Structure 1
Amino acid sequence: MAKKQVTEFDYKRLFEETVGGQDVLEELIARFSMPPSFDEHNATLKTYYRAGQRSVVDFILSRINRANGVTDDVQNETPINE
């Protein structure tokens, strides 16, 4: 059986349109979007660990944004002054 391709619209439906989806996304963001560590002991390791966790949340948010027509590509944005 062929595996279904997951699209950005699947992420949007799951996290924005499914009951409880927004609550789950908010919990993921709160739990895994911690700032860099400035603790003297193992700060670098903690920061890399947190960045790895955050990258998953950033990926999910990026897919949802794409489904909503928001792109991360700064080059395609028109400057305000033009």
Structure 2
Amino acid sequence: MPKTPEAAGLTKALIDTVQAEKDALFAKPPVPALPPRTYLDQTVIPILIEGLKSVAKERPQNPTEYLGLFLLKNSTNIKSG
């Protein structure tokens, strides 16, 4: 079996077209275009759940402050869009 598309006899134009169609098929819509629930599910809920787990485990004196600091500290871990 051929290991590359070129070895299978596919042209560069055909390979590029297939890749473009594949990219379009699996592309996520821009974040602002998402419905509110989907937007929150993809951007806020995952890190919020982790923060709430941490609050439940640590049982801090001020849980809302702890959660706020957790979210700020871990804001770079958010996978958007």
Instruction: Provide TM-score, normalisation by structure 2.
Output: 0.28
Name whichever structure is richer in helix by fraction: 2
User: Rg larger in 1 or in 2?
Assistant: 2
Normalising by structure 1, what TM-score? 0.28
